[in-house]
Chains A and B, each alone.
Chain A
Amino acid sequence: MATTMGFDRERPRDASAGKTNAAGEGTPGKRTLTEGLIVQRAPASSPDAGSDAAVTGGTADAAPAAGGAVQRAPAPAKDPDPALLTDFEAKFKGVAAELHNSPASLKLIKEAAAAGVKFGGYAEDGPGKNAWAYTVGDTIYVPKARTDLTLAISDYLFELNNAVRKPQFDKIHEEGAKGSAGKLTAEQYATQKVVLEVEGMLRLGEIWVEMRKGMGDGPELDKYDGEFYRAEYRAYKDGTKTKDDLVQSVLGRKYTSGANAGKTVKQYYMDQYKQISGGK
């Protein structure tokens, strides 16, 4: 059964899957020189949660200008929220205000919008017709059964986080499929996938810490901490765990259900490497 590289029939597909930016999205905002002196921003490519020191918005009165006189920078023009957020707000009233408490969440939303991700509405009414958050194509759905807005936000952010990481996962898969002819060993393949996972966890943790502050940071919010990986994020920020520690921890976790039950994450991905590379 020689099927490698062979399909019975080839038919070109159109390129309609290309993602387009929403109008006005992704245009780097021009900043004045004064703004540049006062506001420090995280690098645009800052991939994860390691950017607490950066002030990412709305702090124009943060520091005196050189020479001692306090100069206020002109208030930067606010970008309108992308449809990805306003459409979510239209279904879940109040979520936009919570998300605006977190510059990191707004950054994730903008990244996702620039990648063409859309909000499709309630999960129950969407094509999946179930009460669980899901993605179909480039459209995400959140269940209306999520009457707790914080959980609705977590559903939304998880799907966005997943969407923005797809290109990076694809590159790892493509490299893994080359087997020993590629740049990755099975162990490196597993580790790289989990690095993306941990970066996603830390990003959600950063968002939640920012959101908590805006919500009063009271103990009643602790019940959501697990959902947003707050413990992992705090350990990383406190310096009690490095990113590599977290990666090793996730690699050692076992799946508890589904087709991979009993396997560690590392085993699963090392097996996957062998399978997709055909053992070459």
Chain B
Amino acid sequence: MKTTDRLASVHNDRIQFASMRPPGSRFAAIERRVQVVAPPEAVRLAETGDVALLDELLPLLAIRDRAFAAEVMLSAMTGVEADLVADYTGKPDAWLDGLGATARERWIAWLDQHRAQLVWDAPNRSFALR
């Protein structure tokens, strides 16, 4: 599978993200949200609300130098696995050697199940399930 040019900024060495407790959360630690904060191209991409982008990110999950960045993008855009991503802040290698090994299968399965239900929630800069 070929990756698209618009994903050039999605790279482990470049991606930066914030994690936060969602507004109104009743949980102290287990509920987190992820927001891409750099590089600017990736920030813009993550906020396009383009469902096709989710599928375009899947091949990157098989490329070690880009897999964690793709995971961050997917998580930021869907809210899925945000607690996992947040816990691996600053430790992409640990994620790559552990949870990263099956990330592509997990996202393929999740998208197959939920793609048709995804609607863009602009205020939250994320997809929500219809």
Contact = CB atoms under 8 A, between A and B. Distances in A.
Given A3-B61, A127-B38, A170-B94, A165 B29 contact: yes
A136 B17 CA distance: 6
Interface stretch (A8-16, A58-66, A68-76, A88-96): A8-16
B91 A17 contact: yes
B31 interface: yes
Given A170-B87, A265-B30, 7 more contacts: A1-B105, A17-B90, A129-B37, A137-B89, A196-B30, A197-B30, A258-B126
Interface string B101-130: 110111011100000000000000010110
A73 B89 CA distance: 44
Interface in B50-95: 61-65, 67, 78-81, 83-84, 86-94
Contact of A8 (B38, B62, B78, B106): B62
Q: Nearest 8 A-B pairs (CB), nearest first?
A: A7-B64, A134-B20, A128-B18, A259-B79, A200-B28, A127-B37, A134-B18, A17-B90
B29 A197 contact: yes
Interface residues of B, number: 57
A46 B83 CA distance: 25
B89 A259 contact: no
Interface in A87-111: none
Contacts of B81: 272
Interface of A: 1, 3-11, 13, 17, 126-130, 132-138, 141, 158-159, 161-162, 165-166, 169-170, 173-174, 177, 193-194, 196-197, 200-201, 204, 229, 250, 253, 255, 257-261, 265, 272, 275-276, 278
A173 B12 CA distance: 21
B104 A258 contact: no
Contacts of A259: 78-80, 128-129
A130 B18 CA distance: 10
Contact of B28 (A130, A161, A278): A161
Contact of B23 (A10, A132, A229, A261): A132
B28 A134 contact: no
B111 to A, nearest CB: 12
Contacts of A197: 27-30
B2 interface: no
A190 B113 CA distance: 23
Contacts of B32: 162
B46 interface: no
A189 B82 CA distance: 17
Nearest to B28: A200
Contacts of A255: 31
B9 interface: no
Nearest to A205: B28
B101 A162 contact: no
7 contacts: A7-B100, A11-B64, A133-B20, A135-B86, A136-B18, A165-B29, A275-B106
